[in-house]
């Protein structure tokens, strides 16, 4: 097994077919196919199911790809650590729940490593996908929260996926509402106060259970519920419908505007906001910088 073979494996998976991958790698299609077959034989797995339409990654292939991405990332990190800072263009990917502070940290990262060429990815996505992204190597860092409601289930999934959770901040639950909301003048908001208004939550797809929810409060506690997929839509509905959502209270007016405000929610609960990373993985300088920026913005909120 060589790093070159692992690069070939990941490129084929990303392209979805041998022909495009060969063009991207500047090698012949037969040479690429042979390299992949040799790797499959050595590892004793069938990574792809091949057809006229391209390739489909098998379950064994997904596991092999996870290791391949991790090893390639670690090789790059080692080169950067012991070699020149300009070994490769800046490259980093993070998957996160819908937090403005996660975006702010991402902005700080790009500003620090701005260059003529770079590749940065931020995925504001569903909780289950965040864990999957980090486990598969698609993202170096994931940003989620744990609480007494979801910790047992998510901690088992994190451990099973070969990941670890590191707590960065413990936050009390808040509601995000419009600055013109009828409850905006209250210093402390109760459940009864909120029941007349639409409760806005992030939809979690196939894993749409309370354990994967980004909000501390179940939809069952409120009669009016709206599920959305992105933060901009949610905030538009918060303003347009006098809706609300439940989150950490960490919000940046520069990023989200002054129309959205946070008010404490009367609730005996905590959000343990933190990161998930691969166990025993050496972070890249970009991952370390991103986590430093996260800590900075969480300390402000």
N-terminal to C-terminal alpha carbon distance within the chain: 47
* Whether residue 167 sits in one domain with residue 59: no
206 assigned to some structural domain: yes
CA nearest neighbour of 130 among 165, 101, 100: 165
222 plus 286 within the same structural domain: yes
User: Which pLDDT score, from 0 to 100, does residue 153 have?
Assistant: 93
In a domain, 301, yes or no: yes
Cα–Cα distance measured from residue 187 to residue 263, given in angstroms and rounded to the nearest whole number: 7
43 and 135 part of one domain: no
Report the C-alpha gap between 281 and 71 in whole angstroms: 9
Query: Is 255 found in the same domain as 176?
Result: yes
Instruction: Report the length, in residues, of the chain.
Output: 301
pLDDT of residue 256: 64
CATH number of the CATH domain containing 55: 1.10.10.10
Residue 78 lies in a domain: no
Predicted local distance difference test score (pLDDT) of residue 243:
96
pLDDT of the residue at 284 = 86
Same domain for 286 and 156:
yes
Q: Are residues 98 and 40 in the same domain?
A: no
Residue 85 pLDDT? 52
For the chain, 301 residues long, the average pLDDT of each consecutive 10-residue run is: 89 89 89 89 89 86 85 77 65 94 95 89 95 92 95 95 95 95 96 97 83 89 93 94 94 76 94 94 89 93 62
Task: Provide CB contacts within 8 A for 192, sequence distance 6+.
Answer: none
Whether residues 242 and 144 share a domain: the answer is: yes
CATH number at residue 102: 3.40.190.290
How many domains, the chain?
Answer: 2
| pLDDT score for 71 | 84
The per-residue pLDDT for 114 is 86
The pLDDT score that the predictor gives to residue 241 is: 97
Domain that holds residue 195: 89-301
Which residues, other chains included, contact 260 with Cβ-Cβ below 8 Å and sequence gap of 6+? 176, 177, 178, 179, 235, 238, 239, 251, 253
On whether both 32 and 115 belong to a single domain, the answer is no
Domain limit, last residue, from 14, 36, 67: 67
Q: Give the predicted TM-score (pTM) of the model.
A: 0.76
């Amino acid at each position: 097994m060589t790093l070159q073979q692992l690069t070939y494996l990941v490129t084929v998976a990303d392209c979805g077919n041998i022909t495009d991958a060969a063009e991207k790698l500047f090698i012949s299609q037969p040479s690429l196919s042979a390299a992949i077959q040799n790797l499959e034989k050595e590892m004793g797995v069938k990574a792809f199911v091949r057809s006229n339409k391209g390739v489909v990654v098998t379950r064994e292939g997904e596991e092999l790809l996870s290791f391949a991405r991790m090893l390639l990332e670690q090789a790059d990190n080692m080169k950067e650590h012991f070699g020149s800072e300009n070994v490769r263009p800046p490259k980093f990917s993070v998957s996160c729940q819908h937090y403005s502070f996660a975006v702010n940290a991402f902005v700080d990262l790009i500003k620090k490593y701005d260059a003529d060429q770079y590749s940065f990815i931020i995925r504001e996505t569903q909780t289950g996908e965040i864990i999957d992204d980090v486990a598969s190597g698609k993202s170096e860092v994931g940003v989620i929260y744990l609480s007494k409601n979801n910790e047992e289930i998510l901690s088992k999934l994190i451990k099973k996926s070969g990941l670890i959770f590191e707590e960065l901040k413990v936050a009390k639950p808040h509601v995000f509402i419009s600055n013109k909301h009828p409850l905006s003048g209250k210093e402390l908001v109760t459940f009864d106060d909120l029941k007349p208004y639409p409760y806005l939550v992030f939809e979690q797809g196939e894993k749409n259970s309370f354990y994967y929810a980004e909000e501390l409060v179940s939809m069952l506690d409120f009669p009016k519920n709206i599920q959305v997929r992105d933060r901009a839509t949610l905030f538009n509905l918060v303003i347009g419908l006098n809706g609300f959502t439940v989150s950490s209270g960490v919000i940046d007016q520069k990023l989200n505007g002054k129309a959205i405000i946070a008010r404490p929610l009367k609730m005996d609960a905590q959000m343990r906001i933190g990161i998930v990373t691969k166990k025993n993985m050496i972070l890249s300088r970009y991952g370390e910088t991103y986590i430093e920026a996260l800590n900075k913005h969480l300390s402000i909120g």
